[in-house]
Structure 1
Amino acid sequence: MTGRIDTRESIWSGGYFAVTVGAVALIFFAALESLAMTTVMPVVSHELDGAALYAAAFAGTLATSVIGMVVAGAWCDRGSPVAPLTAAVGLFVAGLLVAGLAPTMGVFVAGRLLQGLGVGGQIVALYVVVARVYPPRPHGPLFAAFSATWVIPSLIGPFAAGAVAQYLHWRWVFLGVAVLTAAAFVLVFTRLHGRQLGTDEPSTARIGPRVWLAVAVAAGVLGLSLADQLRPWTIPVVAASVVVLVAAVLPLVPRGTLRAGRGLPSVVLMRGLIAGALFGSEVYLPYLLVTEYGFSVTWAGLALTVSAIAWAVGAALQGRFGDRLGNARTSILGVGLLTTATVLATATALGHLPPATAIAGWSLAGGGMGLMYPRMTVLTLAYSTPQNQGFNSSALSIFDAAGSATTIAVMGLVFTALQATDAGFAVVFALGALLSLLALVPGLRLGHAHEKHV
């Protein structure tokens, strides 16, 4: 009951064409929105008077994406992926519309939470669609196409979003992506609707506990993000949020992850740390360029484009020389590049250096991430068996999202607390540098599985 088409067809042939184009487009528009958000957020924050919720607009989306991942995965295991994909795309589009039409920053953040639920579920459901619609042979080319959909938005998304915000209005960044996403989904749905895509052996595993754990992760991150708004209860809220977050994440990741256990636990931990260091800092780079150096949002977005190009180069080098370089040297080189970039950003903010210092430095961050990020995925699969591939892959994504969201939330607290001083940007970037250096601890404990044969 796979509902697959002729196995001799390619992913771009008549039988698969609409599904392939629609699925690639859905991921493309999700990636485009994610990168565009970082570029236009300084303008949104200024217009909606939402500086206090700046970090929550980013961290909240990552937090709720964990819920979307868990729910969509369990839903797909129990039947066809069409229903969870429909629900996920509906939530994503609804969130885009709410954010695009938001009259206040609070409503805007609510829209971002909906987007997180949708994008997390959408990615998981699309992966299941691939497994149940396409035979194994074209999986490689299709996932390569999915990867390419992240590269192109990285190159054009920040600049294009800045131009839309500058010459039209920032609201069209969200409203435009909503319309395009809906059109892409129609393309997929018309080909999948009515096809038998269920599994012959539906999962009977209990999903309730994992869903509640994902909800707890999201609640912990949101608690951190909003703690500054809950004075005089800020400190108790922060403490309670950290306890909830740690307790909820532990069952969702391999045992020994927080202790940097050798092998897979260190892979998962390192991924979360480098994600937090980069994405937490990157949230504030355009903000720095716009508010302190007078950049337009269009030109501020180019700093992210430079990093994206370097990321693509780093990933290409990793794919070609990664096995020869080895895991330890990859970690040292990647962490060194990322740390240098965050230190340069810190120095720029602290010493009011020319903005080119931070922009050029950020290309090093992209290169370092390009070396390390794909290696973490390869190692996760290499350390996995058919019986735990789903759990391990999920753990990598969850800790990635949780690490990024937590870091952004903490940086938001620090930045808000220091907003009356000139130290806010410098301290945020310094925290990114510290996290990057800390990633070297698990980075030297990655070990070796059978990654050369994966």
Structure 2
Amino acid sequence: MVTTGSDIHQQERRLIIAASLLALFLGALDALVMSAAMPTIISELGGLSLYAWVYSAYFLARAVSLPVFGKLSDLFPTKTLMVVSIAVFSAASVAAGMSPSMGFLVAARVFQGIGAGGIFALVYVVLSDVSPKGQRGKTLSLASSVWGISSLIGPTLGGFIVTYFSWRWIFYINLPLGLLSLAGIGFFFRELREKPGDVDLDWAGISCFSGAVLAGLTLIMTGGREIPWASSTGIMLAVAAVILGIGFVLTERRAKNPFVDFSFFRHPGFALGNLMTFGASMAMFSLFAYAPLYLQGALSQTPMVVGYAMLSLSLGWSVGSLLMGRVVDRVGARLASITGTLFMTAGALFCLGFDMDTALLWCFFVFILIGFGMGFISLSTLLIVQDSVKKADLGMATSLHQFARTFGGTVGVGICGAVVTQRLFSGLEQGGKGVVASMSGSGGEMGSRLRESLSHMFQPEFQAQLPPQTLEVLRTAVLDGVGAAFVIVSVICSIGLILGLFLPKGTD
């Protein structure tokens, strides 16, 4: 028997929400604790060449599986899919903890990513399903608090586990928490939406979509670094992404039950909502990636201070979403979206005024303002997208919104990374009058290290070898490079503000 969210007993609802948020917490925490453990893992397992793929394999698998699980939740029991996702993530975590080599760890991370993709897609569907009438925004906002809590305790927890136990326990700890989440979903969640009896799954569409996303994201994430853009591998990935993308469009137009129903995008709320979250994520994750370069390279702040600054972005996001969840059903999702883009645009424009004398407290305020706006946008656009489709398509609509956020963040970091790197080295070459030559002088070791990773320029042993005037040139070049990223972020946020004005009035 299918019930509604209002039919669920309050105690049952609380347990379902708690179990769902616990599952989301596992996925959100995973990437954060990994950063603290990776040096130790490399020292024990070796395989330095696979370092980046421990992250990339997880991210790519998560990005591809997220919309797939969303579609499946519209066709098959959500409870079953949620249980499978948590079980796969937990089992893969145990396998990762038992890894005898880096290759095995990367393979385990692929399955962790598949499970996490299912969790990230289905948690928002479950929360939407169990929400009482008029409280969907409030319930969904709880998920944002999970991200804030994860960002607070993740790095510290990872360091604690590695120091006092073993790096393997950053994976093993997922098992008891995963079992607890499984119990909550398994015992208390009931199916809340009608599902079709006769399922005709669009395997061709799923395959083309997954292949195009996998090829495209791999190129964006590794292009210009592990894989040269003009290399045969880079060209093959680009060609594969284009061909599979075209194949996906052609397949979906002929499919009886398409994986992605293109008619969704005819609704202004659906199209604009996803486009706005795509742009907001481009801006937000670009700041997460490159604001630390400004703080540490141009303002000469310590890594701890940089961490606090990035925490202000995360907390602003969480607090903004929690606050919006309390009022969105009264003020309307359209107004909330416009307000969020206004906050982000104002903060991004403030970033354009950052220089080498900017007060740290001002930076914190600006980052909180931007994070606050992102909290408004991420929740309000999700509500707009969900309201643009029939309830039977809730899973696909929700997962496409999550995918737009993931894809937007990846594209933003990729574009800003290319611009920052080019402007940075151009500034060193033009303003340094031999600085690059001095850095790559005898043997060229220091220059090659710098070009391999921007982080090398902040290493004490690297900066200790540079005279004061060279350090000043370096700071100026960093400011110029990251300043270009701030310009891109400002343009993206301004476009988002304009798009928000075209949201349908009915979403108020």
Alignment partner, residue 277 of structure 1: 283
Amino acid across the alignment from 1:25: L
Amino acid across the alignment from 1:449: P
Distance 1:264 1:209 in 2: 20
SS in 1 for 2:38: helix
Which of 372, 375, 389 aligns to 2:377? It is 372
Amino acid across the alignment from 2:341: S
Give the CA deviation at 1:375. 3.1
Asked whether 1:148 is paired with 2:142, we answer yes
Give the CA deviation at 1:151. 1.2
Change (3 A) 1:101 1:277: farther
Give the CA deviation at 1:366. 0.6
CA deviation string 1:194-239 (max 9, x = no partner): 9999835343242431243123202321233233465566555445
Answer whether contact 1:314 1:369 (CA < 8 A) is retained: yes
Change (3 A) 1:196 1:46: closer
Amino acid across the alignment from 2:485: L
Q: How does 1:48-67 map to 2 (within 5 A)?
A: 48=42, 60-67=57-64
Amino acid across the alignment from 2:403: I
Which of 271, 292, 299 aligns to 1:265? It is 271
Q: How does 1:361-440 map to 2 (within 5 A)?
A: 361-385=366-390, 391-410=396-415, 419=454, 422=474, 427=481, 430-431=484-485, 433-440=487-494
Answer whether contact 1:73 1:124 (CA < 8 A) is retained: yes
Answer whether contact 1:89 1:122 (CA < 8 A) is retained: yes
Give the TM-score of the pair, scaled to structure 1: 0.73
SS in 2 for 1:445: helix
Change (3 A) 1:253 1:98: farther
CA deviation string 1:308-327 (max 9, x = no partner): 33234444267365679576
Which of 215, 237, 240 aligns to 2:211? It is 215
Which of 334, 350, 362 aligns to 2:344? It is 334
Single out whichever of 230-239 and 16-25 deviates more from structure 2. 230-239
Give % identity.
17
Answer whether contact 1:72 1:84 (CA < 8 A) is retained: yes
Answer whether contact 1:80 1:198 (CA < 8 A) is retained: no
Change (3 A) 1:244 1:270: farther
Alignment partner, residue 158 of structure 1: 151
Answer whether contact 1:18 1:187 (CA < 8 A) is retained: no
Which stretches in structure 2 are left out of the alignment for 5+ residues?
Answer: 250-259, 422-450, 458-473
* Count of aligned residue pairs for this structure pair: 434
Give the CA deviation at 1:158. 3.0
Q: How does 1:175-214 map to 2 (within 5 A)?
A: 175=171, 177-188=173-184, 190-191=186-187, 199=195, 201-214=197-210
Distance 2:67 2:483 in 1: 32
Change (3 A) 1:128 1:335: closer
Distance 1:286 1:47 in 2: 25
Distance 2:340 2:38 in 1: 38
Change (3 A) 1:301 1:59: same
Amino acid across the alignment from 2:151: P
Asked whether 1:30 is paired with 2:27, we answer yes
Give the CA deviation at 1:444. 1.3
Answer whether contact 1:227 1:233 (CA < 8 A) is retained: yes
Amino acid across the alignment from 1:116: G
Amino acid across the alignment from 1:272: F
Answer whether contact 1:74 1:207 (CA < 8 A) is retained: no
SS in 2 for 1:185: helix
CA deviation string 1:121-149 (max 9, x = no partner): 123344555688x5xx6366577345324
Alignment partner, residue 89 of structure 2: 92
Give the CA deviation at 1:384. 3.8
Alignment partner, residue 121 of structure 2: 124
Which stretches in structure 1 are left out of the alignment for 5+ residues?
Answer: none
Change (3 A) 1:399 1:279: same
